[in-house]
Structure 1
């Protein structure tokens, strides 16, 4: 079975999706791993970073997204097929990276979430196990699964956490971005105690760090100091600075020839490379 890592923060704009996509590309391209990105975020940013928007629209109309994992349990019809929904060899690098696959999201997840929540008590299966059940036969094909979670702790997010071995909290080192961290840690600990899942915190990743910001420079050592006390285990050593290439690298309409071409020959390439190696060093122990 693969190592499954969820990336989660309750605040948007902290670099969660950019980190998910970058680590997936580096794991597949530089480490030769078979990687699946599961996009549970209805904003679909990871999806449209890895495939063209037109391709996503076709698949969304055909029911070939993660949305139908949940819709299938709200109706008597079965539409979702992992073999049809998972897209092989994705990325805007050389037309796709071998070994990097995607289960795309849908903006309609926003609407189905409340309906799913209302119907959960009447479902014939445990609503927390729906995603795991749908992907049971597909997950063994991969070494690593990265789940881009929605910015909440609802049932869809919990479905991702239920199949995860670890979770990472990307955060900007400021007050607003770190405010929800205790809520994330406490809710996941409660989920563990209620279900017995073995998920563990892999740590925080400092992203969009600004060297000129006194707040960022003051908050980062405090986050490291309080890691064990606050339950997120550690702050990873690799710090991702704020950069100007983020929008470009997430644009699936652009075509790149290599990781260096996409992420630069110095930064942010070496930061994402270092982060990927650091994450793999923990999950391969």
Structure 2
């Protein structure tokens, strides 16, 4: 199981849209996936068309004592429809989680999500939608993850926020999550005809080099239309939707390759005689 946090330290860059695009790609490829909605706004939960009744929400996961971790009950996304072989589940978001967000949290608090996810084995991929701030909630998501994706857009303030986010990931890795690695930066809402966007994309490339993950996610109204209809982008008609779906397919493939490399690396390390 690969756990990937999707984060940003600036709101409004389309972080949740990237989570939903990756979930759509995973569903289309038949990858059993769990989305963990840690954002108090719960937009991912809404777009994934989730009936949260009876499910364990994110506030309960982060607020519950460790002994309750084994009682985690995900909700099913209606994106999966009536196909029993399709697995796309959700730990629904809750506005109550905002009360748990503090500048720092105890080691026990930060470990709750990791403990809860460690009790699950039915998923190949877990996508964690973090809030756009660096408090207890985002640190919990990063601490539970193997990889982290930073979402930005080609604008001045978003560029500086991406830099802060990468530093934050490194801080969490050094302090409490040695297995965590940044997968890279996804540039969202790119307009190919905008000189400013081209300038900022080059600036990002100069700053972060190979951490900039291609392809960029182009600004297309099809993405908002699909989300408004609570539908995966892979099922939305039209060439713009197909273009976006291909971009998310490429990013999903990179996530799965990174997990494969990590597994091989751990196996090789175990094989080295002491």
Q: TM-score, normalised by structure 2?
A: 0.83
Question: Which of 233, 236, 252 lines up with 1:261 in the alignment?
Answer: 236
In structure 2, the residue matched to 1:202 is 183
Aligned to 1:44: 42
For residue 226 of structure 1, what is the aligned residue in structure 2? 207
Paired residues of 2:226 and 2:236 also in contact (CA < 8 A): no
**CA spacing shift, 1:275–1:188, aligned 2, 3 Å:** closer
| Contact kept? 1:33, 1:143, Cα under 8 Å | yes
For the aligned residue pairs, the C-alpha RMSD in angstroms reads 2.8
Greater share of helix: 2
Aligned length: 259
TM-superposed deviation, 1:63: 7.1
Contact 1:34 1:142 in 2 (8 A): yes
Does residue 237 of structure 1 match 2:219? Answer: no
TM-score, length basis structure 1: 0.80
Per-residue deviation, residues 140-159 of structure 1 (Å, max 9, x unmatched): 22111111011111111111
Shift of 1:22: 1.4
2:37, 2:45 within 8 Å by CA — same for their partners in 1? yes
Structure 1 residue runs without a partner (length 5+): none
Equivalent residues of 1:238, 1:278 under 8 A apart: no
Distance in 2, matches of 1:6 and 1:263, equals 30
Contact 1:72 1:80 in 2 (8 A): no
Residue 65 in structure 1 maps to residue 79 in structure 2 = no
Q: Distance in 2 between matches of 1:145 and 1:263?
A: 29
